[in-house]
Amino acid sequence: MAAEARGIVAILEPAAAPTLTAEVLGVARRLGNDLSEPVTAVVLGGAQVEAGRLWELGADRVIRVVHPLLELFNLDAAVNALEPLLRRENPNVVLMAHTFQGRALGPALAFRLQTGVATDCVDLRTDSQDRWVVLTRSILGGNFRAEIVIGSRPQVVTLRPKAFPPAEPEVGRAGAEEEFTPELDPARIRQEVRRRVQEAPTEGVRLEDARIVVAGGRGLGGPENWYLIEELARALGAAVGASRAVTDAGWVPTSLQVGLTGKAISPDLYIAVGISGAVQHMAGVSSAKTIVAINKDPDATIFKYARFGVVGDAKQILPALIREVKKALGKE
C-alpha cells in the first residue's frame, strides 16, 4: 500500500516580493497547524535564498532546488525538476502563488502528478476529518464564488496574491535545510528561455508594493491624456496602474495591467480614473483598503466599490487634483 500523503509543500519563487513569500508561507503554516502536518518550503532555483527567514515565516524544512536551467522560469525544467521531488515527498497539499509562474506551473504539475488543481484561490479552510482543503475561487470574472474540493492528493493550489495575510515572522524559529539537484534530461527540456525583457518601469514604486496606486482607463479619452495619471502618481508618490482596456489599446505596457489577467494589488489607496469597474478589473483590487473613483458616468459600476466618488471628466478633475495634492503635500 502506498504511504499516506502527508505534509504541506509551498513552492516559492526566489525573485518574488517578500510579502508574497510570507503570504504563501502564512497559508502553509495555517494548514500545517490545522492538519498537524509539517511545512516544507521548496525554493525553485534559489541557491541564494536564506533558509532562516523561511523558517521564521513558518517552514519546518527548506529545500533548495538548484539547477542552471531553473535560473529563468522554464516550464519543462520546473515540472521535470519538481516531479521526482514531489513523488519522494508525497505531500497532501502543494501551494504556490498565482503569479505568472504559478499560473503555468500549478496546472502543469497537477497534470503531471495526475491530480487536481484549484487556481487563483481567494480563501480556503480545512476539513480536518479527511484532511481535504475546501477552496474558494472566484468565477465569471468575480461575480460569483465557488467552493471546491480536489478529490486526490497532492491537492495543488495556486493562491491569489494579496488575498491572504502574510505570515508574521517568529524570530529565532529554526528548521532543517537541504539542497535538491534534479537530473534534467535535455531531451525533455523542449523549450529554451532566451532572455527576459523588463517592460515595467524600473524607477519608482513597484505596482505590487505601492501604498498608493493611480490607475487609468479608457475614460481618459486617449493616450495623449495619460500624462495626467503619471503626474498625479508622481505628486502622490504613487505607482501607476491601468485597466485592460488601455493595455490592450497599447497606451501602456501590459505590466501595468491590474485585474484578473494582470496584477492583484492591495494598496491603502487606489485612485481609479476613467475605469468603469468591470468585475474582471475589480478582481485585482479586492484587497485595496480605500478606492477613489473618478468617472464621467454616474452609473459606472466602480462607484459600487468606491469609498469616495467624483462624477466628472478626468481631463478637468485631474489637473485641479494634481495642484491640490501638491499644495497639500507641500510640493509646490
Partner 1 sequence: MNIVVCIKYVPDWEAPASQFRIEDTRLVPAPGIGYRISDTDDEAIEAALRLKEKHGGRVTAISLGPSAARDGLKHALAMGCDQAILLEDPAFEESDAAGTAVALAAAIRKLGEFDLILTGRQAADWDQGQVHAGIAELLGLPAVIPAKYIEWTGSEFIVHRIYEEGYEEVAVKPPCIVACSNEIAEPRYPTLRGIMAASRAQIPVWTAADLGVDPSQAGRAGRRTRVLRLYTPQVEARCEFIEGDTPEEIAAKLVQRLREEKLL
Instruction: Find the shortest distance in angstroms from Cβ 61 to partner 1.
Output: 28
> Which of positions 97-156 make contact with partner 1 (CB under 8 A)?
99-101, 103-104, 107-108, 110-112, 115-120, 134, 137-152
Restricting to residues 4-63, name those near partner 1 by CB under 8 A.
none
Nearest CA among 297, 300, 277 for reference residue 142: 277
204 binds partner 1 (CB under 8 A): no
- Letter string b/e over residues 155-165, b meaning 16 or more CB atoms within 10 A of that residue's CB: bbbbbbbbbbe
Q: Which is nearer to partner 1, 66 or 291 (CB)?
A: 291
Minimum CB distance to partner 1, residue 152 (Å): 6
Q: Which are the contacts of 6, defined by CB distance < 8 A and separation ≥ 6?
A: 37, 38, 90, 91, 92
Task: Show contacts with partner 1 in window 65-84 (CB under 8 A).
Answer: 72-73, 75-76
Decide: is 297 part of the binding site for partner 1 (CB under 8 A): no
φ and ψ of 238, to 5 deg: -105, 165
Nearer to partner 1, 55 or 303 (CB): 303
**Min CB(129)–partner 1 separation in Å:** 15
Sole binder of partner 1 in the list 198, 224, 299, 330 (CB under 8 A):
198
Provide the 10 A C-beta neighbour count for residue 195: 5
Q: Please give the single-letter amino acid code of residue 221.
A: G
Q: Does 213 bind partner 1 (CB under 8 A)?
A: no
Least distance CB 329 / partner 1 (angstroms)? 7
Distance in Å, CB of 21 to partner 1, minimum? 14
Which x/- pattern over 220-259 shows residues binding partner 1 (rule: CB under 8 A)? ----------------x-------x--xx----xxx----
C-alpha cell at 297: 458616468
- The angle that helices 226-236 and 314-328 make with each other, rounded to 10 degrees, is 20
Q: Which three cell numbers stand for residue 305?
A: 466599490
Distances (CA, A) of 227 to 86, 207, 230, 251: 49, 17, 5, 11
Burial class of residue 13 in the structure, from the number of CB atoms within 10 Å of its CB (0-12 exposed, 13-18 middle, 19+ buried): buried
Q: Which of 229, 260, 265, 285 binds partner 1 (CB under 8 A)?
A: 260
Q: Minimum Å distance from CB 226 to partner 1?
A: 18
Smallest gap from Cβ 315 to partner 1, in A, equals: 9
Least Å from the CB of residue 221 to partner 1: 16
Q: Which three cell numbers stand for residue 163?
A: 488575498
Nearer Cβ to partner 1 (47/328): 328
State which residue, 63 or 273, has the beta carbon closest to partner 1. 273
120 and 127 in contact (C-beta within 8 Å)? no
Residue appearing with cell numbers 478582481: 283
Please tell me the distance from the alpha carbon of residue 198 to that of residue 295, in angstroms, as a whole number: 31
Comparing CA positions, the residue from 169, 178, 180, 172 lying closest to residue 29 is 169
**Residue of 50, 168, 297, 324 interacting with partner 1 (CB under 8 A):** 324
Q: Which residues ranging from 177 to 196 are in contact with partner 1 (CB under 8 A)?
A: 190-196
